[in-house]
Structure 1
Amino acid sequence: MENEQLTGAATEGLGIDETAPVISRHSVTVHAAAETVWLFLTDIDAWTTWLPELSYARVETPGPIGPGSVFRWSVSGLDIVSTIAEVRPYERLVWSGHANGPDGILGVHVWNLAPGDGGLLVSTEESFAGPPVDADPDSVQAALDESLATWLQRLKDTAETDAPPSR
C-alpha cells in the first residue's frame, strides 16, 4: 500500500505527512504476543500507568476505539486532542491531533505491528508540522526522537513484563 500524505485530520488509509519539517521513525522487537502489545497500545485511558511522562490520557468518544474516536492527552506541557483514523487490530493504529490548539503542532502518528525475527516488530512513525515546528525544527526533532524512543521502550518493557489491561 502506498503511503499517502496527511495534512489535516487523519482519515483511514493515510500515513504521516512526508513533507512535514519533522519526521521520526523508530522500531523495536518485543517478545510478547501482538494481542498483548495491542491491548497496552489501545487502552488509552491506562497509558499513564506505563507512560509516566503523560499527565493524563482519556478517550472521549464512547465505546471501543475506531475511526473518528477522539482522545485527549497531555505530555511535556502539550495538551493534545487526537482523532483515530485507522484501526486494524493487532496490526496498525493511526491517529492525528493538534497540540495546544489549531495553531500548535499537528502530529500524525502511525503504529505498525508485524511478526519479525525473534519476536514482534513494533514500529512507529510520526510527523510534526505547524508554526512551533517551523520556529525551531532541530529542537522539535530531537524532542520527538527522544519521545518515540522512550515510548517504544516503555511499551516493550511493559508488554514483556506486565499482564495486559483488562478489556
Structure 2
Amino acid sequence: MRFVESVEIAADIDRVWAVQTDVERWPEWTPSVTAARRLEPGPLALGSTARLTQPRLRPAVWRVTEIDPPSGFVWESTSPGVRSRGEHRLVPLDGGRTRVELVLSQRGPLAGPVGLFGGATMRRYLRQEADGLRRRCERG
C-alpha cells in the first residue's frame, strides 16, 4: 500500500526543514500526531528515533533510515505484520517556495488488510500533516 500527499509552501526550504525535523513540536501543528518524543538528544540524524502517538493508532517508534538535509528524510517503523516507511521530501521552487512530498508505504503480510481498513485514516493524516506544515511554515 502506498499513500502520497504534496503541498506547496510559501517558505524557503530551510524554514520547512527546520519545522519538519522538530518532531517533538508536530502535535502543535498537525492533529494527526497527539504526542511526539525524540528518544535521543540532538538534531534529527541517521539512526535517530522518535515515538509518535496518533489518534486511533498504536504508538509507534520511527527510526531515520535516510537523511539528506535540507532535502528530506525517510524513517521506518515496524508493527506485527507491517513495515511502514514515511518519506518527507522537500523540493525548492522559484520565489522562495518549497514543495513538500509526503509518502507512506507499507509492506508485509498484513499491509493489505491494514491499508484496506485504515487507508482513509492514513490519507487524512497525510493531508493534515501537509496542511499543518504549510500553515506553520507560512506563519513566519
Do these two structures clear the TM 0.5 threshold for a shared fold by scoring above it?
A: yes
CA RMSD of aligned residues (A): 1.8
Q: Which of 113, 116, 121 does residue 93 from structure 2 map onto? A: 116
Q: Which of 142, 146, 150 does residue 128 from structure 2 map onto? A: 150
Shift of 1:129: 2.8
Contact 1:35–1:90 (8 Å) recurs in 2: yes
User: CA–CA distance in 2 between the matches of 1:67 and 1:78?
Assistant: 24
Q: Measured at CA, do residues 140 and 117 of structure 1 come closer, stay the same or move farther in structure 2, by a change above 3 Å? A: farther
User: CA–CA distance in 2 between the matches of 1:131 and 1:108?
Assistant: 15
The percent identity for this pair of structures is 26
Q: What's the CA shift string for 1:101-152, capped at 9, x where partnerless?
A: x315421011111123562111111102345533353232222211111110
User: CA–CA distance in 2 between the matches of 1:47 and 1:136?
Assistant: 24
Contact 1:133–1:140 (8 Å) recurs in 2: no
Q: Which of 34, 59, 63 does residue 13 from structure 2 map onto? A: 34
- Residue type matched to 2:70 in 1? Y
Contact 1:103–1:131 (8 Å) recurs in 2: no
Structure 2 equivalent of residue 63 of structure 1: 42
Q: What's the CA shift string for 1:8-55, capped at 9, x where partnerless?
A: xxxxxxxxxxxxxx1011111100111111111100111111123322
Task: List 4+ stretches of structure 1 deviating above 4 A.
Answer: none
User: CA–CA distance in 1 between the matches of 2:67 and 2:100?
Assistant: 15
Structure 1 equivalent of residue 83 of structure 2: 106
TM-score by length of 1: 0.74
Tell me, what secondary structure is at the counterpart of 2:101? Answer: strand
More helix by share: 2
Structure 1 equivalent of residue 75 of structure 2: 95
Gaps of 5+ in 1: 1-21
Size of the aligned set, in residue pairs, is 138
